[in-house]
Chains A and B, each alone.
Chain A
Amino acid sequence: MDIKEVPVTQTDSKGKKKKNKKTKKKTAEDAESSGVEQKEEKMEKSESAEAAFPPTFSVSEIKNKQRRHLMFMKLKQEKRKQKMQLKKKKKKEREALGDKAPPKEVPKTIENQRVYDETIVDPEDEEVAFDEGTDEFSAYFNGLTNPKVLITTSDRPRGRTVRFCEQLATVIPNAHVYYRRGLALKRVIPQCVARNFTYLMVINEDRKIPNGMVLCHLPDGPTAHFKISSVRLRKELKRRGKDPTEHSPEVILNNFSTRLGHSIGRLLAALFPQDPQFVGRQVATFHNQRDFIFFRFHRYIFKNEKKVGIQELGPRFTLKLRSLQKGTFDSKFGEYEWVLKRHEMDACRRKFQL
């Protein structure tokens, strides 16, 4: 029975305590015999300190839960000890070398490992500059129009969504909230254009919480459909300031680097008036990280030249772009500039679109 295992188990007993995540082999025979062997091995704990050979069994083969737990704890402690020893050694070496020490290694993060995206906009690119200079937002960015936003919801909104819309209207200057009486968006849009609105924002609700947003730039502009998550209304925020005032806030757009990101950044920036009132000391931030856009609204105060204090005011929410459609809202017959195709685009963790 144990003929195959004899050379193995002898080394096993020595190397039992070694971390051996490489060998994950499980054998039925081993399981049976290991129960017997482990008792012996426990007696030999003291001997097993610095064995060189990794054992074949793993902690998960021990059928007794308490013993397994103990073995696992020991394994973890050993690992931690090794790690601390390694760290100490490295630190000593570093101090010993002094100036000649190699630079500190930067840990790998998903943002660091981002796959090279060829659509990242080069600031000096003339073609892209021309494209952006003559696109649908050029009227706003050239100062010809002022934003006027119509905020509405899907039909029959419940409390949370209604409060969210009201708070959004305080955050975005020149925004009006209207009740959606089951009206079709395609009919609402020409009426908005006639009344000089520049944006139509529809907050979609599902099960009493807002979960989607359709942002349509009005004369004939692109329509973006976002998924909203993680909405925090004002009273749910801790350590918040008082309500925001009527001053136009400054807008900060972080990390919109690709061509699609530029389009979305411009779409979000055109919601706010072009000239911010610095007297109000309010700032709205759209921070893009890993294709999620985080919206925050703060009031800041400069204590001295280097220190700033900030107070979070308004609502807080996260957006994820689902589709960008050319033209005003027409989900059936409109042409899409970009559609999120989950299985194709989300397959690689290090590839982002915005």
Chain B
Amino acid sequence: MEDRSRLCSVWLGAETGILKGVSLSRKQAFNFCNTRHLSREQEVRALCWGDPAESELLVGSRDGTVRTFSTEKGVFTEARRCGDPEEGCFTGLATYGATLITCGDCGTLRVWREDSSEPVTELQAGKNVSRMRQNLVHRNQVATGGKETGLKIWDLDKPEQPTFTAKNLRDDWLDLRQPQWVRDMAFIPDSQKVVTCTGYHQVHMYDPSTPQRRPVMEAKFGEYPLTALSLPASGNTVVVGNTHGQIALLDLRKGLVCGALKGLAGGVRALQCHTSQPVVASCGLDRFLYIHSLEDRKVQHKVYLKSRLNCLLLASRDLEDGGTEATDAAAASEEVKEEEDEVWDTMEQVEEAEEKPKRKTSEEEEEPQKKSKKKRKKGQD
């Protein structure tokens, strides 16, 4: 169990309550579930790293419990009760120092300490909150947004008032109020800006450092609600996914679509870009995990995991990493051999490419006759 959990570089939570770990180097998926007794009440709703060293995972379930899973040991170590199931499912989970931040569907954001069963701070972030995200640079900042609840940025040290409340878009050309439904958001590193994606297929960028509370930039993609958003390591772009399984790369400078990632057949539930590699992982209702490369927009890995997937977490280390030193050494020698093989492979490919145009242009006048002569001569011989 331990070595299996150490191998996994991608962690996913399923609707059936199973925590799945995928090892891409070995192309294997493992199920980590508590007992033989599964239930839909334990449907995994939120996942986050318990500590910066990524040795612990926090799993938020539908019945309001947050369980801690240790990747070193491969078992669930703790379980805490952090809310009632009537209040709605978890829409966000984060850690700030020694405290745990949870946000429910009904809008209550709570900060919990290790020892007590009562929240240290509790605030209302609106009537309906679809997502809560933490700023990874300034970990005391948290953003929330939901249906008819605009984006609000909170500072956990001063929880009375949000530091930034976004205004809705201007009324449209018929003077009707524009509906708003913030589905997911992300903090852009190295600046104060926040990007959000909405259920009305818009992507908005807000800048709290400016006095403008309305979005600074708006971009539209598709006709279906955008459900997930992620920022790649190389800046200026954002990856969004919608309920039809369409994933697109949008450029934040102009607001145009750079490209689309194909392959998903069902709605995207979670997207995450890797912190160093140009790779994005996506999971959704079609029960597959896809790893796309952002440079050539092709599918690198496609893994079938038998339940509908709700959320996903990527490890910061190299995705294809085996994990132990022995495999690293072997991998290094293999890499050398692979490089040599690659050299030979590329040489062969060039030769094949030369042959192909010859065959393709065989329909031209003179060459086929010469070729046919050659063929016939060979036949004669």
Contacts and interface: CB of A to CB of B under 8 A. Distances in A.
Contacts of A333: 199, 224-225, 243
A11 B372 CA distance: 12
B266 A131 contact: no
Contacts of A334: 243
Nearest to A5: B369
A130 B16 contact: yes
B373 A25 contact: no
Q: How large is the interface on B (under 10, 10 to 19, 20 to 34, 35 or more residues)?
A: 35 or more
A99 interface: no
A332 B365 contact: no
Given A336-B266, A337-B286, A25 B307 contact: no
B225 A28 contact: no
B148 to A, nearest CB: 14
A345 to B, nearest CB: 7
Q: How large is the interface on A (under 10, 10 to 19, 20 to 34, 35 or more residues)?
A: 35 or more
Given A8-B369, A27-B369, A335-B285, A341 B265 contact: yes
Contacts, number: 91
A344 B266 contact: no
Contact of B306 (A56, A259, A341): A259
Interface in B321-379: 362-363, 365, 368-369, 372-373, 376, 379
B287 interface: yes
B381 to A, nearest CB: 12
Contacts of A336: 243-245, 266-267, 285
B265 A27 contact: no
B81 to A, nearest CB: 23
Contacts of B266: 335-339
Interface in B177-234: 199, 223-225, 227
A66 interface: no
Listed from nearest, the 4 A-B pairs whose CB atoms lie closest are: A335-B267, A25-B368, A337-B285, A118-B304
Interface of A: 4-5, 7-8, 11, 23-29, 52-53, 56, 118-119, 125, 127-128, 130-131, 134, 259, 326, 332-339, 341, 344-345
Given A119-B287, A333-B225, A339-B265, 15 more contacts: A5-B369, A7-B376, A27-B368, A53-B376, A56-B369, A127-B18, A134-B40, A333-B199, A335-B243, A335-B266, A335-B267, A335-B285, A338-B265, A339-B266, A344-B262
